[in-house]
Chains A and B, each alone.
Chain A
Amino acid sequence: MRFQILLTLRSLAANKLRFLLTTFSVVLGVSFVVSSFVLTDGLLKTFDNIVEDANAEVDAEVRASSEFAEVEFTYRPFDESLFETVAAVDGVDEAVPGLTSAKIVPVKGDGDPVQTTGAPILSFNWTSGSLSALTLVEGEAPDGPGEFAIDETTADRDNFVVGQTYDIIAAGGREAFTLVGITRFGEENALAGAVLSSFTLEELQRLDDSEGLLSFIDVSAAPDVDPTVLLDRLTAAIPSDLEAISGDELVEEAQDDFGEIIGIFGNILLAFAIVAVFVSTFIISNTFNILLGQRVRQLALLRALGASSRQIRFNTLLESLIVGLVASIVGLGGGVLLAYGLRALMDSVGFSLPSIELIIAPRTIIAALVVGVGVTMLASLSPAKRAATVPPVAAMRGGFRFGSGEGTRRTIIAIILSVLGVVSMGYGLFGGADNTALLMATLGLGAVLVFVAVSMFSPLFSTPSAKFLGAPLEYLPGGASITGHMARSNAARNNKRTASTAAGLMIGLSLIAMATVVATSLKDSFRAELGSTLAGDYLISEETGPGFSNQLAARVDALPEFETVSAVRYGTIRVDGDEKGVAATDVTVLTELLEVGVLAGDPVASAGTDYVLLTQDAADDHGVVVGDELEVEFAATGKQVLTVGAVYENEFLIGHYIIDLSGWDANFAAGNDNVISAKTAPGVDAAAAEAALAPLEETFPQLVFETRAEFSERVEGQLDSLLVVINVFLGLAIIISLLGIANTMALSVLERTQEIGLMRAIGMTRRQTRSMIRLEAGVVSLFGALLGVLVGLVFGWVAVIAIPESIIDRLSIPAGTLAVYVVIATIAGLLAASMPARRASKLNILEAIAQL
C-alpha cells in the first residue's frame, strides 16, 4: 500500500507537465463554482450589514400594508396628518416622517440626466438624527426650497459639485436646484449603482406631486418601553390599511429582498459554473485515457513483476484522487480570486457593489472537494478499469493497444441515455414541470444525458467526419498539401480521441447555438408581432424606472399632430389567489392603438372603474365570459368585484388583464405612466410629428421617444446584449474545451515524437511541423463545432416549440451567425494547438527518432 502510493507520487512527479495540464481544467471548473458561492455569500453578508446599519435605531415603521410579494422601493403614500397621531402614541421616543420618490431625476452639469445600469433613481426627504440612514459627508443638509443633496458615489461619478446649480426633472418638468450637500448611505454608500438625492420633505412632496402625503414613519421607542408593546400600541392607533412593523422585521424584509436578488444572480453564475465543470469532466477523462495508452509498457512491467490488476486499478484511481485533491485546493483559492475579480469587474461597469466580506462557508469547501475530486474520479473510472486489463506480456512485446471493444454495448448505452435525455427534457418542457426549479432540473438532466449520449455515439462517425472535413487540406498549395494530408489523417487516426476532444467544444457550442437560435426566433417573432399588432406610430417610455409623470400624456394629446394618445400603466393584481400583471389604459381608444383582437364584448363600453378585460386564455382559466363577474384584489383597495367587459386574443405588449385608467386611479396609490402610445393625425408626416414632440423630449430627457421601428430596434438590441452576456459566460466552456484541445494535442505530439523526428530528418521544416499540428487541431475543432451547432439547433428547435406561441411563434435559424461561430471555434482550436505545435517543431530530431 505504501509502496503503491509512492509509485503513484513518483509517476505524477515524473510527468509534471501532463499533471499540470490535467489539473488545470478541473481547477477552472472548481474556481467558477467556488467564486459563485464566495461572491453570493459575501454580498449577502455585506448587504445584511448595510440593511442592519441603516435601520439600527428604528424600532418600528408605519407604512401602507402590502399584500404583494414583489420587491418594492416605494410604498403607497398616506396622509401626513397621521404623523401627529403616531408621534403622540405613548412610548414613542422619536418619530420621523419619510417619503420616497422614484419620479425625480437629477440632471448632470452637462445637461444629461443621471443614468444607472438598471438600479433605481430614488429621492428621500432629508432627516437628521439617529433614525436616518443618511449622513452628511460634505456641505449642508437641504433646508429649504431649491436645495438638494446627492449621494457621494453619484457625485464622484457625475461630477456634482456643492454650491453649483443643477436641473431636477420631476413630475412638473425641469427646475433649477442648488446642490448643498453630499450624503452617504450607511457606512459605505454601497447602493449597487442606485442614485440617491434628498430634499426637504415639503420640496419632495411638491416635486413628487404628493402634497400632504408620506410613505412611511420611522419610530424609536422610549428607553423604558418594550418595542413589542410599542408595536401593539401603534397598530391600535393607525387605520387598518396601514401597518406597523418592528425594526427587526423591517431589516429581515429588506434582507430577504436583497437575498432573493443575490440568490438569482448566484444561481445564474452557478449554472454557468456547472457547464464548465461538465466540459472539464470530458477533458480529464480524455487525458487519462491518452496517458493510459502511453503507459501501457509501464503498467505491463508492473503486472509482470507481480502487481495484481486490482492494484493497477487502485494506482490509477489513487492518481486521479491526488489530481482531484490538488485541483480542488487550487480551485478554492482561484475561486476566491475570481470572486473578487468579478466584483471589481461589476464595480468598474457602474454596478457599484460594496467591498465584500470574505466568507468561505463549509458548503463552499465541500462543493470544491465534491466537484474537484468527484469529477476527476468519475472521469478516471473507465480508464482505471481498462488499465487493469493490460496483460503482463505487453511489457516485453510492444504494440499492445486497448481494444475499442464493447462497441455494441456502448451503442446500446448511448441509445438508452439519449432516450432518457429526450424524455427528461420533454417532461420538463411539455408536461409536468410546474415550477422553475423542476423545469431547470429536468432540462439540465436531459441536456447532460444527451451530451453524454452524443459523445458516446460520435466515435462511430468521427473518423469519416474528420476525413471529410479535412478533405480541402489535400488541396493546399505546394508543400502544404502533404502537411494538410498528414493533419487530416492524424485527425482521423483515433476515432475515440477525436470524438472526446471534440466533445468539449460540442457542448459549449451547442449551448451557444441554442441561445442564439432562441434569441433570433424571439426577435423575429417580436418584430412580426409588433408589425401586425402595434397601430400607434410613436411610443414614449423609459429604459428603466418606476414610471413617469401622468401629465405628459395630456400634453402629447394636446398636440394637433396627434390624433389618438393613451398612457399605459403596468401593475400587479391578484386573481384567484395568484399574482398577475395588469395593464391600465384608456380602453376607449385601445383598439386604435393596439390590435388586441377583440373576440367578444366591447372595450369602448368597458370604460370606468367597474370593468376588466381578459384574454381568452385568462377567461378560460377563470371560467368566465363577457358579462360575468370576476373578483380582483388590489394592493391598495383590496378585493373588488369587476365585470368582464371584453375578451381579446392577443396579449402582446399589454398582457392578459386590462383595466381602464379610471379603474387604476381608483385602485392604485400611485398614478405613474409607464408607456405612452400615440398615433399621428392624418396627413402629418414623421418630420412634423417629431418636430412637435421635440420640446417635450427636452423637458423629459429621461424618457425615450421613438417610432415603432425604433422601438423594435431597441428591444432587439436589448435581446442582442442579453445574448452577448450569455454567450460570454458560455465562452468559459469554450475556453476550457480549448484547453482540452491543447492538452490532447500536446499528448499526441508526445506519442508521435518518433514520427515527427523522422519527418523532420527527411525534410519537414519547423513551419510545416507547426502547421501540421495546428491543422489537425483545426479539423478536430471543426468537427466538434459542427456537431455542437447541430445539437444546438435541435435544442433550440425544441425550446422554440416549448415556449408559448405568444412569445415565440417561429423558428429562425441565423445561419450566418452560426457559421461565424463555427469558423471562430475552428480558428480558436487551431490557435489552441500553438503551444504543442511549437513543442513539436522544436523537438531534437535525433532524440526524437531514438525514442523507445
Chain B
Amino acid sequence: MNKPSMRKVGMVTTETSEPSALATAAPDIQIMAATAVGLRKIYGEGETEVRALDGVDVGFEAGKLTAIMGPSGSGKSTLLHCMAGLDDITDGSVRAGDTLISDMSDQDLTLLRRETMGFIFQAFNLVPTLTAEENILLPLLLGGNRPDEEWENTVVQSLGLGERLHHRPDELSGGQQQRVAVARALVTQPNVIFADEPTGNLDSKSGNEVLGFLRRAVDDWQQTVVMVTHDPLAASYADLVIFLRDGQVVGELRDPTADQVHDRIRALEA
C-alpha cells in the first residue's frame, strides 16, 4: 500500500532547516490539499429543511494555514466535517488532494483519514484509557505502523510534552491535552490537518500556544492546516481566512490582522 506519511518523512527531516522546493513553488502552482465543488449539505426535508452548505466552491492550499470563519450557523463546522469525510454530502464533490472522497466507502474513508488527515477537536480529543504517548501514536498504531521515532521526538520536544508522555489525559491540563492532540495530528505527517475550534475550550495563554504550534507546523514543516474558529485573534494566525454565511462563501482575506477579521465578521453579522 502506498504510504504517504512514510514518503514524506524523508523530505521533512532533510528540509527542516531551509525552505523546500515544494514549499517555495506552492504559491505559483497552487497545489490544493482539499477542494470542494458545488458542495451542498441539506438537513431535513420540506418545512424543516436546513441548507447548511449551499453551493460551496472552495480549495485549501497545501502548505498554508487556512481559517474558516462565519457567524453561528453559517456552516463553517459542517464544511470542515464534509471536507474531512466525517459527514456525507447532499450534492457536489469533495476531493482530498486528487482523490474524490465524496462517494468513498466508510472503510476507505477511515483509512484515508488515518493516513492522510490529522484531527484536532474542540474538546474530548483524547482517549481516557491511553497515555499521552499512546494517544499521540494512535493513528499509526491503528494502521499497524511503526512510528518514526526521530520525527515523533521532534514533535514531542517542540510541543514540550517530553515529561508528560506517560501521563493519562485526566492528569494533564487542558492546554497539555490540546498539545497532545496537536502532536497526534502531526505524527503521521498528514496531507492536511483539520482543527475544529482547537482553542475554544482553552484560556488565552494556552490558546496562543496551540495556535503558535499550528503556525510552526506550517512554517517549519510545510504542513497544511484548516481551522474553524470564531475568534478573530485565532484567525489572525492564518495565511488566508475564508468567510461563510448561510452556507455560502462570502469572501476571503489574505494575511489578515485580528482587527481586519473582526471588522469583516461584524459586517457579516450585521
Contacts and interface: CB of A to CB of B under 8 A. Distances in A.
A485 B107 CA distance: 21
Given A479-B143, A481-B141, A755-B124, A762 B113 contact: yes
B130 interface: yes
Contacts of A766: 106-107, 110
Interface string B86-111: 11000000000000000000110011
B127 interface: yes
Interface in A741-765: 754-755, 758-765
B127 A486 contact: yes
B128 interface: yes
A482 B124 contact: no
A211 B143 CA distance: 89
Contacts of A588: none
Given A481-B144, A763-B114, A846-B86, A758 B127 contact: yes
Contacts of A477: 144
A346 to B, nearest CB: 49
A-side binding surface: helix, strand, loop or mixed? helix
A849 B80 CA distance: 14
Contacts of A489: 129-130
A762 B134 contact: no
B264 interface: no
A759 B138 contact: yes
Contacts of A760: 110
Contacts of B184: 762
Contact of A763 (B113, B121, B128, B129): B113
Interface string B228-249: 0000000000000000000000
A765 B144 contact: no
Contacts of A490: 129
Interface in A578-625: none
A260 B81 CA distance: 72
Contacts of B139: 762-763
A761 B86 contact: yes
B75 to A, nearest CB: 14
B125 interface: yes
A478 B86 CA distance: 24
Contacts of B86: 761, 845-846
Nearest to B138: A762
Nearest to B124: A754
Contacts of B60: none
A479 B87 CA distance: 24
B125 A758 contact: yes
A473 to B, nearest CB: 13
Of the listed residues A482, A485, A490, A766, the one surrounded by the most CB atoms of chain B closer than 10 A to its CB is A482
Contact of B142 (A754, A755, A768, A849): A768
A181 B107 CA distance: 72
A764 B141 CA distance: 10
A766 B111 CA distance: 11
B221 interface: no
Of the listed residues B81, B86, B106, B110, the one surrounded by the most CB atoms of chain A closer than 10 A to its CB is B110
Contacts, number: 78
A378 interface: no
A274 to B, nearest CB: 38
B87 A849 contact: no
Contact of B143 (A493, A754, A763, A845): A763
Interface string B196-229: 0000000000000000000000000000000000
A763 B144 contact: no
Nearest to A842: B106
Contacts of B81: 846
A480 interface: yes
A288 B84 CA distance: 39
Of the listed residues A486, A755, A762, A849, the one surrounded by the most CB atoms of chain B closer than 10 A to its CB is A762
Contact of A755 (B106, B113, B127): B127
Contact of B115 (A481, A493, A761, A763): A763
B191 to A, nearest CB: 14
Contacts of B141: 479, 481-482, 485
A755 B128 contact: yes
A762 B119 contact: yes
B144 A486 contact: no
B111 A765 contact: yes
Contacts of B111: 763, 765
Contacts of A758: 121, 124-127
Nearest to B116: A763
A464 to B, nearest CB: 15
B127 A763 contact: no
A764 B129 CA distance: 16
Of the listed residues A754, A763, A849, the one surrounded by the most CB atoms of chain B closer than 10 A to its CB is A763
B88 to A, nearest CB: 10
A485 B131 CA distance: 12
Nearest to B184: A762
A833 B106 CA distance: 22
B130 A763 contact: no
A764 B84 CA distance: 15
Contacts of B126: 758
A846 B87 contact: yes
Contacts of B134: 482, 485
A493 B129 contact: yes
Nearest to A768: B142
Nearest to B77: A846
Nearest to A480: B144
A849 B194 CA distance: 15
Contacts of A768: 142
Of the listed residues A483, A754, A758, the one surrounded by the most CB atoms of chain B closer than 10 A to its CB is A758
Contact of B110 (A478, A483, A493, A764): A764
B142 A761 contact: no
A487 to B, nearest CB: 10
Nearest to B87: A846
Nearest to A764: B142
A846 B106 CA distance: 14
Can you list the 4 inter-chain pairs with the closest CB atoms, starting with the nearest? A763-B114, A478-B144, A482-B141, A479-B144
30 contacts: A478-B144, A479-B143, A483-B142, A485-B134, A485-B141, A486-B127, A486-B129, A486-B130, A489-B130, A490-B129, A754-B124, A758-B121, A758-B125, A758-B126, A759-B142, A761-B113, A762-B138, A762-B139, A763-B113, A763-B115, A763-B139, A763-B142, A763-B143, A764-B110, A764-B114, A766-B107, A768-B142, A845-B86, A846-B86, A849-B121
Interface of B: 81, 84, 86-87, 106-107, 110-111, 113-115, 118-119, 121, 124-130, 134, 138-139, 141-144, 184
Given A759-B138, A763-B111, A846-B87, 6 more contacts: A481-B141, A481-B144, A489-B130, A758-B126, A759-B127, A766-B110
